[in-house]
Amino acid sequence: MTKIHPVLLWLLIASPFFCSGQTPKSPKPPASSLQSGPMVGYSDMREVMLWAQTNRPARVQIRYRDQANPTKAHLTNEVLTDRKAAFTAHLLADQVEPGKKYTYELLLEGRPVSLPYPTQFQTQSLWQFRTDPPAFRFGVGSCTYVGEAEYDRPGKPYGAGYEIFTALAAQKPDFMLWTGDNTYTREADWNSRTGVLKRYTHTRSLPEMQPLLANAHNYAIWDDHDYGPDDSDRSYWLKSTTLDAFKLFWANPNFIFDEGCTGTFTWNDCQFFLMDDRTFRAPDNMPDGPGKTYYGEKQMQWLMDALTTSKATFKFIITGGQIVNPAKVVENYSIYGTERDRLFNALAEAKIPGLLFITGDRHHTIFHKLDRAGTYPLHDLTISPLTSGPAKPLAEELAQPTYVDGTLVTDRNFGILSVSGPLTDRVLSIQFYDQKGVERWSRQLKASELK
């Protein structure tokens, strides 16, 4: 009779399967561990960041292949997700070449996850000193409210029209700009880290959103609702926690300061300046004056320096609230008149070409154009909402001389912006679509008009 080693016998007896008479269960299929994603983050010539979230600890990795030469596969770093980081994983594809398209698959516990839509990313092209910059297109939207009845305010549901993400994905943008209020923290959320992470997770898990996340590169800023409570400012007590959540759930290429979401990125010959209108912001109802900051001193200085040194054809300043609209209502920059005047004067004195503001927040889409003596007009393209409740501007706003007639959209919508043409004659095309994907209006701006 074969004797069992005493240590082995103790291990067998101690096993819960031995005690219960059960047999070990096979591992759950990897798809059941996936909470949201995969999402494609920033893209550059030498690397691309990808992202995924699980619902339990899991080993996560991405396997990717050059579309034109799929025989060789590459792997990102592997991440073991954990509760502290809301089970999120940032996965770096660093074996890429400029100007390539790649297919990829998500691996959980070393096994591929089957998804009902294609997954791909791209690297930016090395066009400088070689060719004209390639044409590209990007989506823009703000104000994404995803309903959760037990935590929503009673009454008519505020979030709806989630099919807008299907319409947006059908446009096949190269990347997506999320311009604030990308999730809405509620009363149950904004006083604790647990609440903030639960809200970010709930919004990111929307099924209709997943194909867009998986195939367009994604860049984001925040506004009040994903920063804190409604109309929150620099006094918000949990802003370091919401910044941590923002960094966990988005994959921007950089953060200029230790606090806040300020950053920048380029796409071909254009540069995008991601501005933070909350972290350094004085309260809305504070009397105007030099101390009533919106962007704050160090962010203003960085922006002016960055704009001055930028060689980009179009320079897009991305920020939450309206900038050009002169009506001193709600949270427009106009109620911060001292800082607004300072910024506008600095922009005029620096003679910075190609400038355009992209904003959100107001739950309607509208175009404002501010004529300036001796230089080109300042344009502000407000794009909102994606899935939040639509709202109309006040009558006095439509009476402003800056309002561009025919550009108001008061239901859920998104923008598709395209840049094309030779370097010496680049053109920005602007198109707006409703939640069903029906075009509502379009305009064109030539770079030569912004000089």
What are residue 417's phi and psi, to 5 degrees?
A: -110, 135
136-449 CATH fold: Purple Acid Phosphatase; chain A, domain 2 (3.60.21)
3-state secondary structure at position 88? strand
Residue 325 DSSP one-character state: -
Residue 233 corresponds to which tokens in the numbers above? 């400012």
CB 98 within 8 A of CB 148: no
How far is residue 82's CA from residue 397's CA, in Å, rounded to a whole number? 48
Query: Which superfamily, per CATH, for 30-122?
Result: Purple acid phosphatase-like, N-terminal (2.60.40.380)
Which single residue is written with the structure tokens 């799929």?
70
Where do the CATH 2.60.40.380 domains begin and end in the chain? 30-122
Q: Note down pLDDT in tens along the chain; length 451 residues.
A: 344 343 333 333 333 332 333 433 434 557 789 999 999 999 999 999 999 999 999 999 999 999 999 999 999 999 999 999 999 999 999 999 999 999 999 999 999 999 999 999 999 999 999 999 999 999 999 999 999 999 999 999 999 999 999 999 999 999 999 999 999 999 999 999 999 999 999 999 999 999 999 999 999 999 999 999 999 999 999 999 999 999 999 999 999 999 999 999 999 999 999 999 999 999 999 999 999 999 999 999 999 999 999 999 999 999 999 999 999 999 999 999 999 999 999 999 999 999 999 999 999 999 999 999 999 999 999 999 999 999 999 999 999 999 999 999 999 999 999 999 999 999 999 999 999 999 999 999 999 999 9
3-state secondary structure at position 95? coil
How far is residue 349's CA from residue 351's CA, in Å, rounded to a whole number? 5
Which single residue is written with the structure tokens 């103790």?
10
Where do the CATH 3.60.21.70 domains begin and end in the chain? 136-449
